[in-house]
Amino acid sequence: MSTNRVTHTLEEHLITRQNKAEKEFLAAFESEKPTLENAHVLVNPYLINPLCALILFKTDKPAAATLTIHGKRNDRENIVHAFPEGTSHALPVVGLYEGMVTRVTVELSTGESKTFEIQAQPLPEDVCRCRNINTSMDYFGNNFMFLTPAGKNLPTAYDYMGDIRWLLTVNTMFDIKRLKNGNIMTGSQRFCRMPYNATGLVELNLLGKIYKEYRMPGNYHHDHFEMPDGNILALTQDFSNGSTTVEDMIALLDRETGEVLRTWDYKTFLPQNVGGSGSQDAHDWFHNNALWYNPKNNTITISGRHQDAVVNFDYETSKLNWIIGDPEGWPEDMQKYFFKPVGDLSKFDWQYEQHACVVCPNGDIMCFDNGQYRSKVKEKYIRNRDNFSRGVRYRIDTDKMEIEQVWQYGKELGQTFFSPYICNVEYYDEGHYLIHSGGIGWKDGYASDALGAFLNPKKDPTTDICSKTVEQKDGVVMYYMEVDGNFYRAEKLSPYHDGVNAAFGDGKLLGHLDVTPTFDTIPDVPERNEVVDAWHQVNIEEDEDRFVFHGRFARGSLAMILLEGEKETRGYFINTAASYHLAMCSGAYLEDDDRVIKMNISKEGLSGKYAIKVLVEDAIYQTGVTIYC
């Protein structure tokens, strides 16, 4: 529905659309009962992964199916997966080649077989292509390297040759991890708050079917961790009670209901105005970008970019145990939590504005040391072009409070591997690591001073952004991939796992969003019986559980969204002041015109019919849009 001045879209949640699509194709499957010979082949059955398919057929007698996705060059590239015996077969095909026919063979234990030729559409022109890859089938096998976006790019996975074999057409973001049941979990694509808060987390299979969206009152950002009992630790913040800080809280989510079981607020055990990195401000004082639960000692380790600190605390009591980081600028009574460097100090460096802390099996701590500013003291800040980023591993002795740097990769590469934001490391085995420098940005041939999220090579040819992912084994680089664009994290995953690769059943929307805070005072200005001016480009995107208001407003103007119901009117203040972000770990929600704001209003707490109106400066205008809650 649209007027010439206001656009209103009402779209069902992706889970609802996927549920409908699944019901439809399963109904056709049960009704037609196709055999292998005339099997149903559905490309992109869940609407968001154009490089997958589902093959559905029935057999009279129980049979086990083996699926072979043929490589486009040779048989060594074939991806083969065996499925359990049954009479009703639903075989997911993960890893079609884009824009061409992929041959897929199904062989049954009964001896029957059929080869399908499945055509996938070309991908959008602006997908992030692999620029350079150097590895081998012997090393990388049939795994894919999954990259999660740090901007408007899309979650994408590449095979050993750099071909894109998996892609979601929705902008899920931040961390991506495989769960114990084989599904993956990543951040939802649904905007909630600037700069990059999503409604929550989604659990999905590699076809793109979302089983659960875990909505969080404080939203989700950066990272999550599956606990031994299956519950989820997720990074969040508290927007209620007038809290003015962000990215300083963990929520434990019930895996079944999505409800928040408990939270940890770092303000209870860390001072907020000390140890600041170059990007710190009072609002985003810690900037938590990673967490790791260690069942061996029941502790949580977190990474705080804006205090240059990796912090460990007790799961039960929140008691602070230790801090890895440059102790300069921290008060005397906090020094006991810091470590003293030992070993070869000529090779030792502290980490600065780090990401992605990892606890190794022996208790060593790894992280991606972005190195932004590389000092606590403003006068000593290092410019990006003179800086370096690296993966680093520290060995800590918590009795002696000593720390030794036992490995690093990246310092020797200088600015060519420098990422001032995002990135991660992975521990595979002793001496076998992934190092992902996903936030590389260039300006005039040097490492850019601005974050990659603010660079646009399409508009400014003096800039470039890219992402470099490395795997090192016993000191040898076994994998190197450079792709277009910045990517938050890299995670190597196989396209199939030992569990159920394509379970059916309705996806669920769990947990809840918060009640969007209102502004009590509604200015006493006249209401006009006219639609808000087209210059404001008002666009209202309505979803099942919220709507997102988009509009352009002159800097410094007075603006407010009004929901006029039968019993009440709610006002939501729109801040039209210029905002400058020191961190922008995902630029997915950034607008080209920074006068355009978007504001999420949850339907939580709303009931009935509301007319949406807009207050601009000295009058209230109509939008013509009514929502039902």
Residues that bind another protein (CB under 8 A): 242, 519-521, 523-524, 553, 555-560, 573-577, 617
Minimal distance, residue 288 CB to another protein, in Å: 23
User: Which residues share a beta bridge with 184?
Assistant: 178, 204
Contact, 272 vs 329, CB < 8 A? no
In angstroms, what is the minimal distance from the CB of 240 to another protein? Answer: 14
Q: Provide the minimum distance between the beta carbon of 248 and another protein in the complex, in angstroms, as a whole number.
A: 19
Question: CB of 556: closest distance to another protein in angstroms?
Answer: 4
State the nearest-atom distance from the C-beta of 283 to another protein, in Å.
Answer: 10
Q: How far apart are the first and last CA of the chain?
A: 18
Count of other CB atoms within 10 angstroms of residue 165: 26
For the residues of 425-454, what is the DSSP string, one character each?
EEEEETTEEEEEEEEEEEETTEE-SS-GGG
Q: Which C-beta is closer to another protein: that of 244 or that of 362?
A: 244
Q: Which residues of 348-379 are buried (b: 16+ CB within 10 A; e: fewer)?
A: ebbbbbbbbbbbbeeebbbbbbbbbbbbbeee
Cβ distance to another protein smaller for residue 261 or 554: 554
Which pair of tokens denotes residue 11? Answer: 């779209």
Q: Which is nearer to another protein, 141 or 523 (by Cβ)?
A: 523
Shortest distance, CB of residue 451 to another protein, whole angstroms? Answer: 24
Q: From residue 289, give the alpha-carbon distance in Å to each of 57, 221, 368.
A: 45, 8, 11
Cβ at position 525, least distance to another protein in Å: 9
Shortest Å, Cβ 575 to another protein = 6
Comparison of 55 and 560: residue with beta carbon closer to another protein: 560
Residue 17 DSSP code = H
In the complex with another protein, which residue's Cβ is closer, 382 or 558? 558
* Cα 224 from Cα 263, distance rounded (Å): 13
Identify residue 154 by its one-letter amino acid code.
L
- Give the shortest CB-523-to-another protein separation in angstroms: 4
- Exposed/middle/buried for 125, CB within 10 Å: 0-12, 13-18, 19+? exposed
Q: Which is nearer to another protein, 476 or 577 (CB)?
A: 577
Of 225, 285, 286, which Cα lies nearest the Cα of 251?
225
Sequence-separated (6 or more) residues with CB below 8 Å from residue 252: 227, 231, 232, 233, 260, 261, 262, 263
Cα–Cα distance between 597 and 575 in angstroms, integer? 8
- Is the CB of 88 or the CB of 579 nearer to another protein? 579
User: In terms of CB distance, is 244 or 529 closer to another protein?
Assistant: 244
Q: Which is nearer to another protein, 509 or 532 (CB)?
A: 532
